[in-house]
Structure 1
Amino acid sequence: MQWYKVFSSEQAMQNSLTMNKPVKLTAGGKTLCLVMTPKGVFAFHDACPHMRFPLHQGRVNPFGEIVCALHSYRFNMETGEEAEQRGSDLDCCPLEWREDGLYVGVA
């Protein structure tokens, strides 16, 4: 796993992200989706496991799940689990705060 710096500080993160709004991010040649929620920040591969539609075009529902805009598949952003067990789970990426900022781990 390789680690990539996403933000240099918490303030930089808060200035760049909007609560519950998915954002596209590229790290290590992979396209990821990053979401800041009241529970924390989550990162996962941007492609919905169902039909590869970009999850950054989706939305966060009131249950804190990322919802794919194409067929409304819902995923727990903490575990990656697909809510109705209709398909594969999300490929989540670990995030780690370090002394010099926030890093995402990409396999």
Structure 2
Amino acid sequence: MAEQETKYNWHKVFASVTEAAAKVPVRKLHKLELENQQICFAHTATGFFAISDTCPHLGYSLSKGTTNYLNEIICPWHSYRYNLDSGRECDYKSRNATTYPVELREDGVFIGLPKQV
């Protein structure tokens, strides 16, 4: 944890896991703004994820898309698929998306954004 504390600025986005699940049900997406960046917060059957809201293909909002059973987010514009764990574009047609760590703590749900050096 100490290494991650020095690499990331942690932002509390929900007061609890219960609140996160109520506001972002399974298979739903929610757009957040942290440090002037648009972040897509996703909830799937395997957990919570954070990924850049801007599709690397042509810049459309990923939070307007959907998720699938493969733990991918699907851009609503051209159906490009990005793995929520790694950000990898699944068909190698576009650059990968940026993902961010999500931590579930006793005092809430946090997203880590890399510290600027």
* Interval containing the TM-score (normalised by the shorter chain): over 0.9
Letter in 1 for 2:18: Q
TM-score, length of structure 1 as denominator length: 0.93
Uncovered stretches (5+) of structure 1, i.e. residues with no partner: none
Partners of 1:98 and 1:18 lie apart in 2 by 19
Shift of 1:62: 3.3
Shift of 1:75: 0.7
- Larger radius of gyration between Structure 1 and Structure 2: 2
TM-score, length of structure 2 as denominator length: 0.86
For residue 40 of structure 2, the aligned residue among 13, 33, 43 is 33
Uncovered stretches (5+) of structure 2, i.e. residues with no partner: 1-7
Moved over 4 A (4+): none
User: Quick check: 1:2–1:28 contact (8 Å CA) kept in 2?
Assistant: no
Letter in 2 for 1:105: G
Letter in 2 for 1:6: V
Partners of 1:82 and 1:68 lie apart in 2 by 11
Letter in 2 for 1:65: E
Determine if the alignment matches structure 1 residue 88 to structure 2 residue 99.
Answer: no
- Backbone CA RMSD of aligned residues: 1.1
- For residues 27-53 of structure 1, the C-alpha deviation after alignment (integer angstroms, 9 at most, x for no partner) is 122110011111110001100011110
Shift of 1:101: 0.9
Partners of 1:100 and 1:64 lie apart in 2 by 26
**Number of aligned residues:** 107
* Secondary structure of the corresponding residue to residue 28 of structure 2: coil
* Secondary structure of the corresponding residue to residue 79 of structure 1: coil
Q: State the percentage of identical aligned residues.
A: 35
Match of 2:24 in 1: 17
Give matches, 1:42-61, under 5 Å.
Answer: 42-61=49-68
For residue 79 of structure 2, the aligned residue among 47, 72, 77 is 72
Shift of 1:87: 1.3
